[in-house]
Structure 1
Amino acid sequence: MSGALLATAAEPAFARHETFHLRFGWLRKGFTAALTDPEAFSRPNATVELGVGKNMVSAIRYWCQAYKILETAPNLDRPRMPHLRPSVFGRQLLGEAGWDPWLEDPASLWLLHWKILGPKCIAPVWWTAFNLFAPEQFEEYQLTDLVAELTAAAGWKSVMESSIKKDVDCLLRTFAVRRSGRQTMDDLLDCPTRQLGLIAPAVGETKSWRFVTGPKPSLPPAIVAYACLDFLVEVGARERTISVARLAGDPGSPGRAFRLTESNLYDTLVEATKSVPDLRVAEPAGLRQLIVDDDIEALRDRIVNDYYRANEELQVV
């Protein structure tokens, strides 16, 4: 069953980052390049134009696609080499008049984290870690073994264990600084998503890691509300009501992605509803529920637009 869930949510894409985790500026760099030239990443002078080495060109392309900043488009001249263009989300976030073109608001990193796990996910190790992996504290081999098991169950052929290991290693470097080996200042400061505080070294253990479950101070209630409504859209909910338990615990849910307990999620949604009249939380017969009084997709988009607009107005003041 878990293999089927993975196959539905993700694609068999492994080690496409060329061992490079996301770096500051890469999403903006990739977005800008594709905005002016849909073949920017495949041109012979891509390394010169992007100012990085050949393998980093591939890594930037991968991360921009994984975080849904760029998407493929047909290339009529060379059908086997599709174009890369900014997605609707990419333009909304990083466009000239976008929400946060320079990714200065921590909320944008949370939004990107939600997007990398969204369909169709091309980071299956990420999706597995946050949605199907049970241990709160773990060693790398445990996650590697689970992914290998699930890829076989999903019917994905020829997935090499070495590629899975590279992804597990990259996942950990994306969210935390490794404790072994020589660390440079760049290692400590170069990855924006470490600010999210989702994974940390286990205290007193040299080879163990732990997911950090609980309230996230930098995670705005509006982004959580946006993710909850996005989840409703993705699961094809016919009703405008969903239990907070599902939002906290179902595979692909905001609670899983943001590592929030049901109580954390409920409290955050209560806060979010204070500024969103068409969104309510209720407890009929003790069952905590989120209730939507408007079109789900329209309200989802309005919430995130209103958040960034209000934040921009505060900065101006």
Structure 2
Amino acid sequence: MRFGGHETFPVRETWLSKGLDLIASDRKAFEDPLVADLLGVGSNMAKSIRHWLRLTGLAEPGDGGGLAPTGLGRLILKRDPAMLRAGTWWALHVNVCSQAEESLAWHWIFSRYSGDQRFDRVQCIDALTRYLTVEGQRMPSARTLGGDVACLLATYARPVPPPQEDPEEAIDSPFRQLGLMVHYRETDTYRIDRGQKSVPAEILCYSMAVTFLEERAAGGWIDIQMREAVARPGGPGRVLALSPDAFAVVLAEAERCLGPDAVRSEMVGGDRTIRLKAAKPLDWLGSHYARVG
């Protein structure tokens, strides 16, 4: 179970594309004491970029040291090198929030935090502290825990009303475009938006494959009960912040868009069951890029 590592910085525009491009040409680039200059950022920001490259699944330790692009990293370098497509950020979000060990606060707020009403930063920290205590998890320092929560909220929360800023100086996290969380500036409170949102069809399948492929693929298919897909911690409904009704809408659109040979739902023994083609997450993302061009 890990906390911190981000140096309090949410991901910023161009950070991951620059970092990924750098390690693609030099796997030991982050061992260079001048790597911050190569990236055009401060030294702590360079450490943060390295952290986010690994946490999102874009990079992994390379043979002989350093960092190397993963299969996901190589796919994105080929199909969306500037990381301009929302589907790319949805996939990275799924990777971060599906895992409890490497990014506990991120996993917790989408999968374990039950509050659907507005909350402030102190309430969020208190709720996470109670969760760690009940689960018997190692408790980090108050500063570390507060830093994780602050970074998490800054990563996702879209400010309402939006501040008037110079577009050339914008430092918003690209994850905000996903519409997962709102920051009400007048009251300094937050809310997780579990309503309808534009989740690409293949990303829904990507998230289901991340959760269920290894444990239950059989005969070329994965069978998932609808209620489990919606409610399982780390599963697609929780990670994508979809209520049961919102999940049903996204699933219906995926069925329409991809067809029954990829995904379909049907009643089995009184329960609605999703039948998903047993493809790897990377294959679903590749299909998304192929469809959107």
Range into which the TM-score falls when normalised by the shorter chain:
0.7 to 0.9
Asked if the contact 1:215–1:260 (Cα under 8 Å) also holds between the matched residues in 2, the reply is yes
User: Counterpart of 2:10 in 1: which secondary structure?
Assistant: coil
CA contact under 8 A between 2:229 and 2:237: conserved in structure 1?
A: yes
Q: Does 1:129 align with 2:113?
A: no
User: TM-score with structure 1 length normalisation?
Assistant: 0.81
- SS of the residue corresponding to residue 216 of structure 1 reads coil
Match of 2:3 among 7, 13, 16: 13
On the 8 A contact 2:265/2:275 being kept in 1, the answer is yes
Q: Does 1:223 align with 2:203?
A: yes
Other-structure match for 2:75: 92
**TM-score, normalising length: structure 2:** 0.87
- Whole-angstrom distance in 2 between the partners of 1:188 and 1:177: 13
Q: CA deviation at 1:183?
A: 7.4
Out of 143, 150, 154, the position equivalent to 1:162 is 143
> How far does residue 166 in structure 1 lie from its aligned partner after superposition?
0.9
Q: Does 1:83 align with 2:62?
A: no
8 Å contact 2:20–2:58 — kept in the other structure?
yes
Match of 1:194 among 176, 179, 186: 176
SS in 2 for 1:133: coil
2:225 to 231, 243, 250: 243
Q: Hey, what does 2:274 align to over in structure 1?
A: 290
Residue in 1 aligned with 2:244?
262
Q: Which consecutive residues of structure 2, in runs of 5 or more, have no partner in the other structure? A: none
Alignment-mate amino acid for residue 208 of structure 2: C
| Mapped contact 1:177–1:188 kept (Cα < 8 A) | no
1:127-174 deviation line (CA, Å, top 9, x unaligned): 111111110122212221233334455555461111111111111111
Structure 1 unaligned regions, length at least 5 = 1-10, 76-81, 313-317
**2:188 is matched by which residue type in structure 1?**
K
- Of 207, 210, 225, the match for 2:191: 210
Work out which of the residue numbers 243, 264, 269 in structure 2 matches 1:280. 264
Partner Cα distance (2:114, 2:37) in 1: 44
Distance, in Å, in 1 between the alignment partners of 2:206 and 2:7 is 32
Q: Secondary structure at 2:73's aligned position in 1?
A: helix
Matched, 1:64 2:53: yes
1:105 to 85, 89, 92: 85
Alignment partners' CA distance in 2, 1:264 and 1:22: 27
Structure 2 contact 7–48 (Cα < 8 Å) conserved: yes
Letter in 2 for 1:68: G
The SS at the match of 1:159 is coil
- Secondary structure of residue in 1 paired with 2:234: coil
CA distance in 1, matches of 2:41, 2:184: 34
What is the CA RMSD across the aligned residues, in angstroms?
Answer: 2.5
C-alpha separation between the residues in 1 aligned to 2:44 and 2:253? 44
How many positions carry a matched residue from both structures? 285
| Identity within the alignment, % | 27
